[in-house]
Amino acid sequence: MQGNYSVRIEKFAERHFIKSFEKKYKSHWDVTLRAIIAGLERIDLLITTSRAETICDVDGIKIIKTEFRVDRTQESAKTSGNRCIVAWNQEKQFVSVLLVYCKTDIAGNNETAEWQRIVKENYPEYRPIFN
């Protein structure tokens, strides 16, 4: 079923890496964030593209990793290294933005393991999905 989903950017996501995007890209970030939200409102369509993938699907909640490009940059979504981690609750028609980051924001050799650790530490409600 296709439909508009409610999108909420979680406080943790706002306080951390989003702040660095705001500082670095100024007004271009506002346009980019609106585009990210618009895409997530139609996540059922976004997931059918190469810019999004389902990481896990447990008890009706899907953890999705998406790629995006910042407005007015020359990089593609794929090559930019910019990622969004979201929790999609299809039943409640709701998308929570858990993390927005650039690959260079994530320490360590394993990007996936690191962002999963960050999500588990900061969102206890999603911790069981990764176990």
pLDDT confidence bin for 44, thresholds 50/70/90? very high
- The domain ranges of the chain are 6-126
Distance, CA of 10 to CA of 105 (rounded, Å): 18
* Averaged confidence pLDDT in the chain: 91
Domain range 6-126, CATH architecture? 2-Layer Sandwich (3.30)
pLDDT confidence bin for 57, thresholds 50/70/90? very high
Give the global pTM: 0.91
Q: Would you say 47 and 110 are in contact if contact means Cβ atoms under 8 Å apart? A: no
DSSP code per residue over 68-111: ---TT-SS-HHHH-EEEEEEEETTTTEEEEEEEEEGGGS-SS-H
How confident is the model over 71-130, as pLDDT tens digits?
Answer: 988 887 887 889 999 999 999 999 999 999 998 888 878 999 999 999 999 999 999 998
